[in-house]
Chains A and B, each alone.
Chain A
Amino acid sequence: MAYSDKVIDHYENPRNVGSLAKDDANVGTGLVGAPECGDVMKLQVKVNPDTGVIDDAKFKTFGCGSAIASSSLATEWLKGKTVDQALAIKNTDIVAELSLPPVKIHCSVLAEDAIKAAIADYKKKQDEQKTGTSVGTHAQPTA
């Protein structure tokens, strides 16, 4: 399969690989996908609680080159956006930017899911902080 130049660029020079402190109340973590499906994305945002702007975003992805590129691109786009602007990012924007072929559309869907999951986690933490309940991360091992 031929990859677009942008996919290759993100694969070879991924932006914002890494992890943020997941227990930080201003950090939202999204973990989507499953190892047996061949792709898992962890995407994190760090939000300035005063402005609601995403100051930092990091990712780690287990998946094909297109999955890596989709999440790398997502972190690039997230930085500097407000939480609401971030939620407006659509998987089709990622498909268009990376010229993903039809068989790789699920990679972009997963990236959109990861963004939504990270922001939901951030909002949940903020709510919990206000009500004083404990802070938890997105995915938990079962008993």
Chain B
Amino acid sequence: MKLPIYLDYHATTPVDPRVLEAMLPFFTAHFGNPASRNHAFGWEAEEAVEGARKQVADLIGANAKEIIFTSGATEANNLAIKGVAEMYREKGNHVVTCVTEHKAVIDTCKKLEKQGARVTYLPVQKDGRISLDDLRAAITDKTILITIMSANNEIGVLQPIEEIGAIAKEKGILFHTDAVQAVGKVPFDVTKAKVDLVSMSAHKMYGPKGVGALYVRRRNPRVLLAEQISGGGHERGMRSGTLNVPGIVGFGRAAELCRLEMAADTQRLSKLRDRLNEKLHKNLDEIYINGSQEHRLPHNLNISFAYVEGESLLMGINDVAVSSGSACTSASLEPSYVLKALGAGDDLAHSSIRFGLGRWTTEEEVDYVVEKLTSVVRRLREMSPLYEMAKEGVDLSKMQWVTH
């Protein structure tokens, strides 16, 4: 077993060697610009891009013509939300989203608000999912877009996408989903989900960084977007800029591998994830899973280790790469807004660890992480005044803390 161990697959994934192999010729031998319509170099590149477009489309049950390549999912989210807001301005100015969305969605919505749009940020329930009643209640005759993520990047919770899609359809509102963490990991079909716009990213599914895509429905309804990057009119005029051919080829191959291997990967990873969870629960008391266990990505686990602060925990397991919702590990020095939204209390956000398993995670690695974490949590609890007080029977929630 090689150290350090990578269990942060929600942050990014390594490029699969089969993906890299597909990409390499497009840096050198086949370097053409697919927009060069009058020579073989261009044709070759165009053929490769169109092949990749179909591979990405096939992963989500779409038509290749509905895939717009972008620089990543942040750009795809920006294009979807700003593009709809601008294009359908006459129809309305209200967008519905949710508080646990990725910053690429939340900050885009905030920008729209500054420009005069109205945005409703739906709360989530204790399990991390939105309430469909809340969604229905939020919709007005000015609502033009619902944007709700498929799977959360911190807690792996799956939103009821098909039900949201049905409501959107019924009300005649466009539905966008940031599906970065879901596509390639769990079955996703644009027809079943009744979704109009889907953001995806290659580097979350064993493809390269710097390439993503937006699915834009062409039929029933035909979705129109105001372009956000102007130029040569690439990608049906929705996203100008010379195509990142090697990246797109890699994205296509990565999508194809996910489509072919998803069932096996899911089965293997959910077993490993459950092993990690069960062993931690066996070894340690007062650990809590954040978010729904039922509606969850198969490779995600997010646990709060009560009475232990996340950054100190990460420091103790420095040969394991994971993330924490602790304020000390974030650039903003605020604890995770996703965990706070679950209403479990900020202290549990500070004590949380996100595990993201992936294609190369082994049972041996999981067992190593369990042993290491167990000893570090025990050691830090012996050092924790909160643990001592809890064991003495003090109700920590009723303490008057001297804050600073």
B401: nearest residue on chain A (CB-CB)?
A34
Contacts of B264 in A (CB 8 A): none
A109 shortest CB reach to chain B, Å? 7
Name B312's contact: one of A60, A68, A110, A113 (CB within 8 Å).
A68
- Decide if B309 touches A17 in the complex (CB within 8 Å): no
B345 within 8 A of A: yes
Contacts of B232 in A (CB 8 A): none
A62 within 8 A of B: yes
> Contact mask B191-225 → A, CB, 8 Å, 1/0?
00000000000000000000000000000000000
Query: What's the Cα separation between A3 and B311 when bound, in Å?
Result: 12
Query: What's the Cα separation between A35 and B383 when bound, in Å?
Result: 14
- Decide if A33 touches B400 in the complex (CB within 8 Å): no
16 chain-A/chain-B pairs, Cβ below 8 angstroms? A14-B383, A17-B383, A33-B403, A35-B347, A37-B403, A38-B309, A40-B385, A61-B383, A61-B385, A65-B311, A65-B315, A67-B312, A103-B333, A139-B399, A139-B400, A139-B401
A138 shortest CB reach to chain B, Å? 8
How many chain A residues have a CB neighbour from B under 8 Å?
Answer: 36
> Contact mask A7-40 → B, CB, 8 Å, 1/0?
0100100100101000000000001111111111
B341-360, CB < 8 A from A: 345-347, 350
| Given A19-B388, A40-B385, A42-B385: A113 and B404 interface contact (C-beta under 8 Å) | yes
Residues in B lying within 8 Å of A, measured CB to CB: 307-309, 311-312, 315-316, 326-328, 333, 335, 345-347, 350, 382-388, 394-396, 398-404
A133 within 8 A of B: no
- Decide if B396 touches A62 in the complex (CB within 8 Å): no
B280 shortest CB reach to chain A, Å? 20
Query: What's the Cα separation between A8 and B396 when bound, in Å?
Result: 29
Pair count A-B, CB < 8 A: 100
Query: Which of B383, B396, B401 is packed against the most chain A CB atoms within 10 Å?
Result: B383
- Decide if B404 touches A65 in the complex (CB within 8 Å): no
- Nearest 4 pairs between A and B by C-beta? A34-B401, A36-B346, A35-B347, A42-B385
A62-78, CB < 8 A from B: 62-65, 67-68
Contacts of A17 in B (CB 8 A): 382-383
B345: nearest residue on chain A (CB-CB)?
A36
- Decide if B395 touches A141 in the complex (CB within 8 Å): yes
A84 shortest CB reach to chain B, Å? 23
Name A141's contact: one of B308, B384, B388, B398 (CB within 8 Å).
B398
| Given A32-B402, A36-B345, A139-B401: A68 and B388 interface contact (C-beta under 8 Å) | no
A3: nearest residue on chain B (CB-CB)?
B315
Apart from A35-B347, A61-B385, A139-B399, what 19 extra A-B contacts exist at CB < 8 Å? A11-B315, A19-B388, A31-B385, A33-B401, A34-B403, A35-B396, A37-B403, A37-B404, A40-B385, A41-B385, A62-B385, A64-B309, A64-B312, A65-B311, A65-B312, A68-B312, A117-B402, A139-B401, A141-B395
| Given A42-B385, A61-B385, A103-B333: A35 and B312 interface contact (C-beta under 8 Å) | no
- Decide if B328 touches A64 in the complex (CB within 8 Å): yes
- Decide if B401 touches A63 in the complex (CB within 8 Å): no
Name A31's contact: one of B346, B382, B398, B402 (CB within 8 Å).
B402
A47 shortest CB reach to chain B, Å? 20
Name A60's contact: one of B308, B333, B350, B388 (CB within 8 Å).
B388
Contacts of B388 in A (CB 8 A): 19, 42, 60
> Contact mask A88-123 → B, CB, 8 Å, 1/0?
000000000000000100100110010001000000
- Decide if A62 touches B384 in the complex (CB within 8 Å): yes
A43: nearest residue on chain B (CB-CB)?
B385
A129-143, CB < 8 A from B: 139-142
- Decide if A60 touches B401 in the complex (CB within 8 Å): no
Query: What's the Cα separation between A35 and B309 when bound, in Å?
Result: 9
B350: nearest residue on chain A (CB-CB)?
A38
